[in-house]
Amino acid sequence: MRSMTGYGRIEKIIGDYNYSVEIKTLNGKYSNVKISLASIFSSLEIDIQNLIKSKLNRGNISVYIDIRFMNPEDFVDVDLGLAKSYSTALDKIASELHLSDEVSLDVLTKFREIIKIKIKEEKQEEIWEGLKNVLEETIEKVIEFQKHEGEDLKSILLSNVDELKEMVKKIENLSNDMKEEFRKRIKENLDEILDSEKINEDRLELEVALLAEKADISEEIDRLKSHLSRFTKIINDENESKGQKLDFLCQELHREFNTIASKSKITDITNLSVDGRVVVNKLREQVQNVH
Note whether 18 and 66 are same-domain residues: yes
115-117 and 31-36 strand pairing: unpaired
Number of independent structural domains in the chain = 3
Note whether 230 and 137 are same-domain residues: no
User: Quick one: pLDDT at residue 29?
Assistant: 80
Domain span at residue 98?
80-113
Note whether 126 and 108 are same-domain residues: no
Residue-wise pLDDT tens digits, 159-186? 999 999 999 999 998 887 665 665 566 5
Residue 1 within any structural domain of the chain: no
* pTM passes above 0.75: no
Residue-wise pLDDT tens digits, 67-122? 988 776 666 677 778 778 878 888 888 777 777 777 777 777 777 777 777 777 77
Q: How many C-beta atoms lie closer than 10 Å to residue 33's C-beta?
A: 19
**Do residues 249 and 116 lie in contact, with contact meaning Cβ atoms separated by under 8 Å?**
no
Note whether 189 and 137 are same-domain residues: no
Note whether 181 and 281 are same-domain residues: yes
Neighbouring-strand partners of residue 12 = 19
Residue-wise pLDDT tens digits, 183-223? 566 555 555 545 545 556 666 565 555 565 566 788 899 99
Residue 191: CATH number of its domain: 1.20.140
Note whether 37 and 92 are same-domain residues: no
Note whether 64 and 172 are same-domain residues: no
The CA distance from 123 to 167, in Å, is 64
Spatial CB neighbours of 106, under 8 Å, sequence gap ≥ 6: none
| pLDDT bucket at 148, cuts 50 / 70 / 90 | very high
Note whether 99 and 156 are same-domain residues: no
In the predicted structure, residue 286 carries a pLDDT above the cut 70? yes
What is the rounded average pLDDT for all residues in the chain? 85
Note whether 216 and 283 are same-domain residues: yes
Note whether 151 and 283 are same-domain residues: yes
Between residues 253 and 40, the one the model is more confident about = 253
The CA distance from 62 to 129, in Å, is 21
**Do residues 143 and 25 lie in contact, with contact meaning Cβ atoms separated by under 8 Å?**
no
Residue 106 within any structural domain of the chain: yes
The CA distance from 87 to 106, in Å, is 12
The CA distance from 255 to 236, in Å, is 24
In this structure, what is the dihedral angle of CA atoms 156, 157, 161, 163, given to the nearest 10 degrees? 20
Residue 205 within any structural domain of the chain: yes
DSSP calls for 158-183:
HHHHHHHHHHHHHHHHHHHTHHHHHH
Note whether 236 and 135 are same-domain residues: no
Residue 90 within any structural domain of the chain: yes
Residue 92 within any structural domain of the chain: yes
Residue 151 within any structural domain of the chain: yes
Average pLDDT of the segment spanning 56-63:
92
Note whether 124 and 227 are same-domain residues: no
Residue 29: CATH number of its domain: 3.30.230
> What percentage of the chain reaches a pLDDT higher than 90?
50
Burial class (CB in 10 A: 0-12, 13-18, 19+), 233: exposed
Residue-wise pLDDT tens digits, 226-283? 999 999 999 998 876 788 899 999 999 999 999 999 887 788 999 999 999 999 999 9
The CA distance from 119 to 41, in Å, is 9
